Amino acid sequence: MPLNEELLSSDILSYLQTHENKGLLRVLTCGSVDDGKSTLIGRLLYDSKLIYEDQLVDLQKYNDFQGVQSAEFDYSRLVDGLESEREQGITIDVAYRYFSTNKRKFIVADTPGHEQYTRNMVTGASTSDVAILLVDARHGVKVQTRRHSYVLSMLGVKHVVLAVNKMDVVDFSQKKFNEIEENFREFSTDLGFETIHCIPISALHGDNIISRSERMKWYNGPNLLRHIEGISVVPSNEKENFRFPVQWVNRPHQNFRGYSGTIVAGQIKQGDKITVMPSGKTSVIKDIVTIDGQLNRAQKHQSVTLTIEDDIDISRGDLICSSENVAQYSDQFQAKIIWMSTQKLFPGRSYLLKINNTTTSVSITNLKHKININDFSHASANVLELNEIGICNLSLAQQVAFDPFDICKSTGSFILIDRQTNDTVGAGMLNFSLRRAANLTWQNLAVGKLERAEQKHQKPVVLWFTGLSGAGKSTIASLVEKKLFDLGRHTYTLDGDNVRHGLNKDLGFTDADRIENIRRIGEAAKLMVDAGLMVLVSFISPFKAERQMARRLMEEGEFLEIYVNTPLSVVEKRDVKGLYAKARKGEIKNFTGIDSEYQVPENAEIIVETTTQTAKQAAEKIVKYLEKNGYLNT
């Protein structure tokens, strides 16, 4: 029996002790939609007698309601918890289920098969030791099977069970099973799995689930439960280096300072030498504190509070490491990213990156290529779309402590967050730090921004003019610069058309090129502000994210967004360059306002209404704003 019922009834304390000391295996079920993942887990729970009486009643009521006259239940209902899942007969969210046998405890993550929910499969796979990859015997290896296999390989899952399900539908054909096994082993050769075991099953009827199938006597291997009971997953604590991301500085009173978090790798004991990254400061572990008291030793997955012998500066996001092998730190990486948003990933756009309790700004400086899931070849790409996987270079706003993902999964993995929506849009694995990150240092100069600005008797600032093509941005910016020049101020104008003749002449007008266009201009404007100048930037800059990126490059008060508000109907009537007419005819693609979006500023410092103001009046309004807010003080 899966549970030791005799010991349970005769000696409850011995049973509990035996249960507590059993090893834990984290298992993932994945595969294409409708391959039977939820049915498989439901069948495991049912045959293991690990469902409650009310669940059994619910299964019988559902059969009665559907008018089904069968001894078999819809076992997927034991796992699919959302009402929408039950209605559609699919898995949407990740469902975690626990069960235990005499030999082992299991946490099973049932993940969705639909391509649009691949992000949920990534969530389940990130903590799993073993993956049960289901394949429908009728259809064999599909594109989603390949995608899930590649993701498993990316996330470091080393043990795969290929469960060829619905063998009853193909008359328990050994030939069909052998074809699928051969196909899978051939394409997964280079994915780095340590073990691959293939088992023919029927989740609905229970064949080869917890007992051998009489209808597939040609299969000589173990049933599914016996196989996962016996999978050897080597404990990592002995070989991993200690890693402890600080989540909270615990200071309940002035006589206690501890650092709380969860050990993500290795183990630690009192008296061990530690190094804090990225500061590099060292100390010795004094105490290991838990809610149940102090420990002499703690290991991976335990949540503890550490105290140290020395009074050194440690903050949330710092990484406490074993001094014997310290983590690296960098702000530029090569990484592998799986994109999980319907909004495309654009190189140059700023996102938030979260790693080891640290959140920082990041941009993808180079999308090297994306992975073709069918043959794992590399294909050139300018963007990543939903569920695509790419190799990228990352540039972070600050240095972070890390290990390459293949050395430590926890300290080498990260998520990407959209700045506007706070949605998680990507997950990634750090491959290595780029050489230039280690070889470049910031050179301190004898003359700084403050001295340059004082020499010019002005406050450096970026005046960022944004609006539709033909709104009047360049005209107004030119009048503002003339007034500032007459007042003796030092200025420079970066105009969209002019810059595309030189610095940005290699860029087109796709969304990706527009983002890179603004990224370069933001960096150029930052250098000019550092020189103490008043910089006028006249660009359509249609996307909020890139205008916010440019703002973040400057210090507080150094960026003023000026929205030149002119309705589309008005700029189309003006159409001095004839661009709107060409765009309407389809002669110009990706034209802002026609077939490319313009995102209106929400909190612009200055709004110019060109339907009620002349260009001269608009320029006077902007200069008065500068005077009133101290930008022209001498």
- Selecting among 32, 76, 330, 541, the annotated active-site residue is 541
Distance CA 497, CA 495 (A): 6
Token reading at 27 = 């298992």
Biggest CA–CA distance in the chain, Å, is: 97
The Cα–Cα gap between 161 and 154 comes to 17
Query: Could you give the CA distance from residue 226 to residue 210 in angstroms, rounded to a whole number?
Result: 7
* Cα–Cα distance measured from residue 205 to residue 216, given in angstroms and rounded to the nearest whole number: 13
492: left (phi over 0), alpha (psi -120 to 50) or beta: beta
**Among 531, 537, 530, residue whose Cα is nearest residue 554:** 530
- Residue 478: CB atoms within 10 A of its CB come to 15
Q: What are the DSSP calls for 575-624, one per residue?
A: -TTSHHHHHHTTSSSS-BTTTB-----SS-SEEEETTTS-HHHHHHHHHH
DSSP 555: P
Instruction: Determine the Cα–Cα distance for residues 299 and 411; give it in Å rounded to an integer.
Output: 16
| Alpha-carbon distance values, 420 to 185, 239, 417 (Å) | 43, 41, 9
Number of helices followed by number of strands (H, E) in the chain: 18, 28
Name the strand (E) or helix (H) holding 210.
Answer: none
What is the distance between the alpha carbons of residues 121 and 94, in angstroms, rounded to a whole number?
Answer: 7
Burial of 522 (0-12, 13-18, 19+ CB in 10 A): buried
Q: Active-site residue 541, yes or no?
A: yes
Question: Do the beta carbons of residue 113 and residue 32 sit within 8 Å?
Answer: yes
Catalytic residues: 541
